[in-house]
Amino acid sequence: MNVGIIGSGTMGSGIAQVAATSGCKVKLYDTNQAALDKAKVALDKILNRLIEKGRIDETEKSRIQSNIEYVDSLKDLSDADLTIEAIVENLDIKKKVFSELETYVSNDCIIASNTSSLSIASIASSLKNPERCIGIHFFNPAPLMKLVEVIPAIQTSKETLEKSVQIISDWKKVVAVAKDTPGFIVNRVARPFYGESLRIYEEGIADFATIDWSLKTLGGFRMGPFELMDFIGNDVNYTVTETVFTAFYFDPRYKPAFTQKRFAEAGYLGRKSGKGYYYYDENGKKIEN
């Protein structure tokens, strides 16, 4: 099966690894050559780490790498059976890419978006054949996280849904089908998780570390809310909150917090910038105080 991935950032490169590991021929496309180069180097590092841990051998590494081609033109995805878009979380930009993509791919190619929070119906409306459009939402890091939400829009055909569920299951992921509503399942539940934690901090009830400690030690969460926001990126996370809040007609349950807005504005993005609610070294490892 031929898979086209649009956007070779955090999510696109992870999804490419998942598809290539399952034996698909992947074309990973980005407008930014540096992002393509970075994705290639990052995959090499990840696969070397898997070899060190004894999970794969050199032959498997070469097989996965040879299944991925790094391309700099959208036209190169013309032979895809499935495309998954993972570019910037901006509806207008996504719609533009989708309508161009449709002119290159065959009529039965499934055109999917990995959006965290945008309406699949809106994205699908940019296509002449919107019934082939669907949300396929991976979690970060895509190769490790088992769950994938599959989101049919009101325009999506039954065939597109069934095929998508089959493909993602073949990629050894667990599928949850969700309706096309802001944040779907996980990102909707996660909004109050982050929001309430930020409010507890803003009200001076506890600091970041204490809130994280409480939820991990007492609540059984693997990561605390501030660690998770740093992991996802305060810019990405803030944008999702803002989108969900607006899409729910400004329901106060999803109201974004100024603390996170200011952190995003200051460039305190989390692991990727070396500073967020905590400090990180050049390998993204948290520096303990």
- H/E stretch holding 165: helix 158-170
Q: Let me know if 237 is a catalytic residue.
A: no
Taking the complex as a whole, how short is the minimal distance between the CB of residue 73 and ligand NAI, in angstroms? 10
CA 114 to chain centre: 6
What are the phi and psi torsion angles at 69 (to 5°)? -110, 135
Q: Let me know if 282 is a catalytic residue.
A: no
Q: Select 89 or 102, whichever has its Cβ closest to ligand NAI.
A: 89
Q: Please check whether residue 173 is in contact with residue 18, taking contact to mean a CB–CB distance below 8 angstroms.
A: yes
Q: Select 6 or 105, whichever has its Cβ closest to ligand NAI.
A: 6
CA 30/CA 76 separation, integer angstroms: 11
Looking at beta carbons, which residue is closest to ligand NAI? 9
Taking the complex as a whole, how short is the minimal distance between the CB of residue 87 and ligand NAI, in angstroms? 4
Give the residues lining the site for ligand NAI (CB under 6 A).
Answer: 6-12, 30-32, 35, 86-89, 93, 97, 114-116, 138-140, 232-233, 236
**Degrees (nearest 5) of the Cα angle 164, 28, 8?**
100
CA 178/CA 147 separation, integer angstroms: 12
Taking the complex as a whole, how short is the minimal distance between the CB of residue 232 and ligand NAI, in angstroms? 4
Partners of 82 in the beta sheet?
3, 110
Q: Let me know if 203 is a catalytic residue.
A: no
Among the listed residues 149, 227, 234, 237, the single catalytic one is: 149
Among the listed residues 67, 114, 116, 117, the single catalytic one is: 116
Catalytic residues: 116, 137, 149, 187
